[in-house]
Structure 1
Amino acid sequence: MAQIQFTTQDYPKADRLEVVRDVYAPVAQVELGVPRREIPDITIRMCLLPGVTVALAECSTLKVTRGQAQLADGNDNISLLLNPGGPGGWESHQRHLRQLACPAGFGCVGFKDRPGLIDFHGRPGQRARFLSIDFPRALLGPRVADLDRVAKGLLVPGDALQLLMRQALALTRSPDVQASAAGPCEMEQLLDMATLALGGTPDATARAAKRGLSMARLRAIKADMAAYAGHGELSVKWVAKRYGISPGYVRALFDRQGTSFTDYLLELRLQRAYRQLSRLAPGERSIADVAYAAGFNNLSWFYRAFRQRFGMTPGDARYGVELQKE
């Protein structure tokens, strides 16, 4: 799995229009239309899995077109275009399909082998957010009962779509969070959730539901825990409310993995604290600051848990790094 990022903020404002048109657009196989007198503001984070590409885009007002010139690349992937929410919005226009304005939490289907356009509506100082998941047609197409029918309307929020969105977003986060979310079955689980969200054939739906929903929910929960481990209010009840499930069901998901919610969260926080301590320059931050930032609210408990887990005190961990630097 690889992660790629492109942002116009790496370039001087005077060069950004030229960069997006002459550098980014040819690589992405699209044409970009930017309003007159506006400077494009685009950030793309991509995660490349075997056969599947996940991309999160945040951009100012612009039009992204895939026309006849770009169709010559022969790409026939099926794209799930999702709106993860944000201040702006966007609309999808594709030949033979309806024009679809996609609200937060909804999605739609895009076909790479048809001309199409995404119209992004950003606001001054604020950017529209757009999440896409590209699947090879040969991989996803046979699993969906009626792809052309489902592509004519919006994908409405449901368990499968929400889990798919959360799982995909986790893959575009920072490397530390991404490492917690990723695994050898990541592509297959994205495929299962896409099958359920689009309406699979009976056989494909049965397979995806059997192996996919509870595991995808657990993976999404773990990704959220990795992202929010530093928040002291993170708890079983917090997670249950966020996912619309019971605290007992959350605990059961971890029990099936041979662990517990509390133990998993403790490990995340200890690993976060250890990483921070090992990277500190002399005199940079106190151990207490690191502990609180990792989500601990009791220093005595933090010291005991750290020593039990790593066989050293937090001070030993920090001192050892300083000795290496000397």
Structure 2
Amino acid sequence: MQQADAPNFFVNRYTGPAHGRDYERWREELCRRTFRVDIQPGAGDTIDCKLQVSLLGGVMMAVASGSSAEISRTRETLKDGYDGLSLVIATSGRILLRHEEHSIELSESQMGLGDMSVLCGTRMSNNCEAKAIRIPRSLLLTICPKAEDRLGMVLGGQAPIREAILRYHALAANVGPHTDVVGQHLMAQHMVDLIALLLGTDADRTELANSRGHSAARLDLLRADVIANLSRNDLTIYSVAQKAGLSPRHAQRMFEQTGTTFTEFLLEQRLLLVRKLLLDPLNRWRKVSDLAHSAGFPDVSYFNRVFRRRFGVTPSDMRSA
């Protein structure tokens, strides 16, 4: 099992027969011990499956892709007593979700809720990809008491919420393990709130999930979109809001509620990016103006002024130091 550069982020792939030392080690270390599941071929007698696992507090974000794998809770794995719930998302191809004696097929962007205290499984074939969010049962039932009523069903409605879950899964799975413990628990709670909105809950809890989880998740996604596009000179509150399906005024208010404006956040992130590039030895031969342009500063004179005001030294002096 390959552990990435965070203690709770793992990536591993197995391709080969469903027997032998390598298979049994992968099956035991990653699947049974970390996932609390077993894994068998989804088609034929071989396995081709890549797994990415991110652990955020008690919530696990996973991505599984490949051409042959069935990830399941078997009679043997049920002996561990774990009773969490798992939201499975089909992101590419068709995914077969088995829940006790009942099976459903998920097409792209559809979701299904499974109960890990009973026999259940997810089968992939023909180069599919599925995402999963494993949640402690008590954590989900606190915000969505009737979540168990939606077990083993195709969750195909609520398109905006499903889109938010998909985008936030990508953000939380990749960024979450690199944040501090408080940040990880907040991201986990925000994801649980989004799932509660998908499943449906009472009016008071819906208001809580919207104000606590959905709003925070949308702001995290807005910020991530800004950071991913710092090099664009045409990056504006209008373009960011449009991509998120918000009005510019609504997006601006979301930034302002954190004590800053969109413009201030954008400038700060660009300055931090240039500082990072300046301090990287691999960039020692690049001109300061090139680094500024790559961070979205078309006007070098303006860049030099705001950089010195922010850090107290010129870009050249910071590089020399």
Normalised by the size of structure 2, how large is the TM-score? 0.82
Q: How many residues align?
A: 309
In 1, the alpha carbon distance for the partners of 2:69 and 2:8 equals: 24
Fraction of identical pairs, as percent: 25
From 48, 55, 59, the counterpart of 1:52:
59
- Which SS does the other structure have where 2:309 is aligned? helix
Structure 1 residues 247 and 40: CA distance shift in structure 2, 3 A: same
- Residue in 2 aligned with 1:324? none
Structure 1 residues 213 and 31: CA distance shift in structure 2, 3 A: closer
- Residue in 1 aligned with 2:244? 243
In 1, the alpha carbon distance for the partners of 2:126 and 2:264 equals: 42
In 2, the alpha carbon distance for the partners of 1:21 and 1:210 equals: 40
Structure 1 residues 142 and 39: CA distance shift in structure 2, 3 A: closer
List aligned pairs for 1:204-215, cutoff 5 A: 204-215=205-216
- Residue in 2 aligned with 1:26? 32
Say if 2:140 and 2:196, in contact at 8 Å, map to a contact too: yes
In 2, the alpha carbon distance for the partners of 1:139 and 1:103 equals: 27
- Residue in 2 aligned with 1:227? 228
In 2, the alpha carbon distance for the partners of 1:175 and 1:277 equals: 26
Q: Does 1:103 align with 2:108?
A: yes
Q: Which sections of structure 2, spanning at least 5 residues, go unmatched?
A: 1-5, 15-19
In 1, the alpha carbon distance for the partners of 2:216 and 2:241 equals: 15
Structure 1 residues 261 and 112: CA distance shift in structure 2, 3 A: same
- Residue in 2 aligned with 1:74? 81
Structure 1 residues 16 and 102: CA distance shift in structure 2, 3 A: farther
Post-superposition offset of 1:154:
1.6
List aligned pairs for 1:261-276, cutoff 5 A: 261-276=262-277
For residues 160-185 of structure 1, give each alpha carbon's deviation from its aligned partner in whole angstroms, at most 9, with x where no partner exists: 33333322321222579867x94663
**Higher mean displacement: 285-294 or 197-206:** 285-294
**Higher mean displacement: 242-251 or 224-233:** 224-233
Say if 1:33 and 1:63, in contact at 8 Å, map to a contact too: yes
Q: Which structure is higher in strand share? A: 2
Structure 1 residues 37 and 316: CA distance shift in structure 2, 3 A: farther
Structure 1 residues 188 and 239: CA distance shift in structure 2, 3 A: same
Structure 1 residues 36 and 265: CA distance shift in structure 2, 3 A: same
- Residue in 1 aligned with 2:3? none
In 2, the alpha carbon distance for the partners of 1:43 and 1:145 equals: 31
In 1, the alpha carbon distance for the partners of 2:68 and 2:201 equals: 35
- Which SS does the other structure have where 1:185 is aligned? helix
For residues 140-195 of structure 1, give each alpha carbon's deviation from its aligned partner in whole angstroms, at most 9, with x where no partner exists: 1243253243222224343333333322321222579867x946633332232222
Normalised by the size of structure 1, how large is the TM-score? 0.80
Post-superposition offset of 1:236:
1.6
Post-superposition offset of 1:53:
2.1
**Higher mean displacement: 199-208 or 266-275:** 199-208
In 2, the alpha carbon distance for the partners of 1:176 and 1:238 equals: 29
For residues 10-32 of structure 1, give each alpha carbon's deviation from its aligned partner in whole angstroms, at most 9, with x where no partner exists: xxxx9865553353223223222
In 2, the alpha carbon distance for the partners of 1:4 and 1:315 equals: 37
From 93, 96, 113, the counterpart of 1:91:
96
In 1, the alpha carbon distance for the partners of 2:185 and 2:53 equals: 20
Residue type matched to 2:73 in 1? Answer: R
- Which SS does the other structure have where 1:195 is aligned? helix
List aligned pairs for 1:161-180, cutoff 5 A: 161-174=162-175
In 2, the alpha carbon distance for the partners of 1:153 and 1:117 equals: 15
Q: What's the RMSD between the two structures over aligned residues?
A: 3.3
